[in-house]
Structure 1
Amino acid sequence: MSAVRVGVFGLLGSGNLGNDGSLEAVLGYLRTEHPDAVVDALCGGPEVVKARYGIEATRLHWYGGEYRTASRAGAIAGKGLGKLVDIVRTASWVRRHDVVIVPGMGVLEATLPLRPWGFPYALFLLCATGRLFRTRVALVGVGADAIRERPTRALVRRSARLAAYRSYRDTLSRDAMRAMGVDTARDRVYPDLAFALPTPAEGERPASTGLVCVGVMDFHGGNDDRARAEEIHRRYLDGMTRFVRALVADGRPVRLLTGDSCDSPVVAAILDAVDSPLVTAAEASSLADLTKEMAGADAVVATRYHNLVCALKAGTPTLALSYAAKSDALMERMGLGAYCHPAREVDVDRLLEQFRELEKRAGELRQTLAEQNLIVTGQLDEQFRELNSALFPAAGRAHQETR
């Protein structure tokens, strides 16, 4: 019998470290539990995925400018034609696999600006062709949220219904899908897949230096904030700049971190505005790099969801600048629910007050995180065992029948 053919799907290799971390966790699982599986990807950045993870990869969209704003007639026509071509391309890719895994990511949410004809359409094509060709599509540890925009909501709901397997990274996500009309009676909730990645050993953690890691984001609000996106961004950038300046005034070294390639201008703006040798920027290329940076800090203040995951996994006292309910849910799960601050309305005085309280309780919070990380690790082991029973026996039978 030939090896099981497994595809991974998503905006992978496109510059978002959280997405790539979820992929890395699933590849680690496959290489441990199913070393003979033949794995390839349909993804946003195939060159990066090939080079970094050693698997074959195909570009997700036929039209190369899919995620650039189309204003000229040629670009609009290219996007429209791409939607038709992608039907054939996706179907051809899906039918070559026994199982397709969508690893983590917020694929069922619109907490950041999102158009229905972009990734929601691509996900729908995946799940529809999976059902057509009897390829089991698994949404593993994904994020979801209530979506108001009708076309996006319809595509997301239909995709979820067509998937053969679903699990979520928090209860909030499962509840959101239930509210949108998806039967979630058999769906399970597990921690974010990135918690399955390795953690720096205790011996690798340097002694306290007073360092504060500040994770920033090119934040403009979500799908429902488009009318005031620039105002939200200016307020967020001003708040983060003032916060970093206050830390520097206290003599604290600050390390600026990002989670996506698009965040670099925010780092540059803060460096330029604060202009202090105490403020430096990290060049992290993976969640492992971020986790190592955060493990060496006394405290972390971060915005991006997977910056928070890395900090909490590293066991470092963390304060979240929450841009969506998923951040609050994550902090609550890990025992730090009191340390959340709204990213849309940064109040620097209140943020500094929360930060000082966080540092006063640092020893207690480190112990809390150590205990929660043990629980999370056990829950992810259970997630992977469930995948074994839910996906691979069926895949093996289907492949044998095809042969």
Structure 2
Amino acid sequence: MTMDTVKPPRRARTTVSLFGNFGTHNLGNEYTLQAIIHNVHKYLPQAKVNCICTSPREVTASHEVPAFPISDRLVKAPAGEERRGGNGAVAKFIRRLLVRLPRELARWVEAFRALKGTRMLVMTGTGMLGDFGIGPFDLHYEILKWSLLAKARRSKLLFVSVGAGPIAHPLSRLIVQWALSLADYRSYRDDFSKHYLASIGFDTQNDFVYPDLAFSLKPELPGPSRRDGGGRVVGLGLMDYYGNDPTGNSSEATYQQYLEKVTTFLAWLLERKYTVRLLIGDATYDTRIRGDVVKKLQERAFRYDERQIVDEPVGSVEELIDQLAATDAVVATRFHNLVLALMLNKPVVALSYHEKIASLMAGAGMAEYCQSIHGLEVDSLVQQFVKLEQNSQILKSSLEQTVEKYRETLDRQYVRIFRDEVELEQRPDGRNGTGTDG
């Protein structure tokens, strides 16, 4: 065979695996996943994308990418399903030794197979490095497991614009630091996350801070913004808030205090003839609050025009964006309600239950419109809202510039993390030393 007839080696397509708590109807997380999928295709148009997530079936249906489970351990058993086996200490030990250990080894093998051909495993944004409702052997253990397996596959491991802290459990701290130490690239979505990790002994000196990944995807509206009547429309973003116990134990008393105060603020808005859209950010978790605030108004015998409250179901991030677009200002609790509102150039007041919200608002130049949810004072909230309304036009101009700056900054991060793969796609053979297929 002559040299003229020798075919060049077929170029291997880059495979990027995206890891995170996706498919669970947390609408902020779903938008984060949309954003990075969009940008992988933008910067690596030939790349294959898959997702390692909590609910693969939901992710494949919503985002049209192949998906694998993080672990079947994270899928809860149906309510009322009885556990098998005895409850004694000896029985538990035997069950763990004979059943759980072999099963977990099988999960490691399945995860290793899922990473076949992966050149980049991206730990994708979100607050995955905090321990609110997460034990050491839940998501943090899985992050470490998949990180170790990525390195075994000789894949690049990247933590991209992740949120971190607080982490109360000492073992969780060790697991998180171990996983981070394996990374080829690390960036955090705010200064708090970077400084927090440094405060618990992890070296972040060479790490980066970039905005939340959601800012890298400009929202697409289906049509002209819907208006609810002729007056001003306020989006009131609510949450089934039970407190910040890191063990995830809920406090009904905390919820009732939050309910009382947001209902009082809602009544104040209605008295002043605002139309109020009730918003949520997690279609699975936030199941009580919208109905409870309306019920609380009725218990108080508060009279208002029913058309002043708009309470529409939301099952997707597109529906949430459409609802936010129909507002003039937003007062919200959930992080990504605030992020999406800022992206839509809506002046916002934040009810902060976590340092990430205070960091978000400070970065957007909105620190004076942020109030801690702990010890929330309705009078102060009213004052902040009145000031927000007075400065609305100035704030909108400033927010537009800030959001555009965030998008440009995130573009630079994508260039940074995908540079090697872009060069690889442009090479004739497309080969490198990562992502073994064995």
TM-score (norm 1): 0.91
How far apart in 2 are the matches of 1:229 and 1:157?
A: 30
Higher share of residues assigned helix: 1
Structure 1 counterpart of 2:39: 29
Structure with higher Rg: it is 2
Kindly tell me: are residues 68 and 367 of structure 1, through their superposed partners in 2, closer, same or farther at Cα, counting changes over 3 Å?
farther
For the 8 Å contact 1:209–1:298, the answer to whether it is kept is no
For the 8 Å contact 1:235–1:346, the answer to whether it is kept is no
How far apart in 1 are the matches of 2:32 and 2:105?
A: 29
How far apart in 1 are the matches of 2:380 and 2:168?
A: 31
Structure 1 counterpart of 2:285: 262
Moved more, 219-228 or 352-361: 219-228
How far apart in 2 are the matches of 1:162 and 1:320?
A: 35
For the 8 Å contact 1:108–1:143, the answer to whether it is kept is yes
Give 1:103's aligned amino acid: T
Matched, 1:117 2:137: yes
Q: Count matched residues.
A: 402
For the 8 Å contact 2:117–2:435, the answer to whether it is kept is no
Matched, 1:220 2:220: no
For the 8 Å contact 2:332–2:351, the answer to whether it is kept is yes
Kindly tell me: are residues 228 and 42 of structure 1, through their superposed partners in 2, closer, same or farther at Cα, counting changes over 3 Å?
closer
Give 1:120's aligned amino acid: H
Kindly tell me: are residues 199 and 226 of structure 1, through their superposed partners in 2, closer, same or farther at Cα, counting changes over 3 Å?
closer
Matched, 1:173 2:193: yes
Matched, 1:41 2:51: yes
Kindly tell me: are residues 304 and 34 of structure 1, through their superposed partners in 2, closer, same or farther at Cα, counting changes over 3 Å?
same
Of 126, 151, 158, which residue of structure 2 is paired with 1:105?
126
Kindly tell me: are residues 180 and 91 of structure 1, through their superposed partners in 2, closer, same or farther at Cα, counting changes over 3 Å?
farther
Per-residue deviation at 1:52?
Answer: 1.3
SS in 2 for 1:397: coil
Structure 2 counterpart of 1:283: 313
Kindly tell me: are residues 228 and 28 of structure 1, through their superposed partners in 2, closer, same or farther at Cα, counting changes over 3 Å?
closer
Structure 2 counterpart of 1:140: 160
Q: Deviations over 1:371-392 (max 9, x none)?
A: 2112111101111111112666
Matched, 1:293 2:314: no
How far apart in 1 are the matches of 2:252 and 2:78?
A: 18
For the 8 Å contact 1:216–1:258, the answer to whether it is kept is yes
Query: What does 1:2-401 align with in structure 2 at a 5 Å threshold?
Result: 2-63=12-73, 65-66=75-76, 73-74=83-84, 80=100, 83-110=104-131, 112-199=132-219, 204-205=224-225, 209-224=231-246, 229-260=251-282, 261-274=284-297, 276-389=306-419, 396-399=431-434
Per-residue deviation at 1:195?
Answer: 0.8
Higher relative contact order (CA 8 A, sep 6+): 2
SS in 2 for 1:118: helix
SS in 2 for 1:217: coil
Moved more, 77-86 or 52-61: 77-86
Per-residue deviation at 1:103?
Answer: 1.5
- In structure 2, runs of 5+ residues without a counterpart are 1-10, 86-91, 299-305, 425-429
For the 8 Å contact 2:44–2:422, the answer to whether it is kept is no
Per-residue deviation at 1:284?
Answer: 3.1
Give 2:51's aligned amino acid: A
Q: Deviations over 1:240-297 (max 9, x none)?
A: 1221122112221111111112112111212322354422223334444333322321
Per-residue deviation at 1:396?
Answer: 4.9
Give 1:147's aligned amino acid: I
For the 8 Å contact 1:232–1:344, the answer to whether it is kept is no
SS in 2 for 1:50: helix
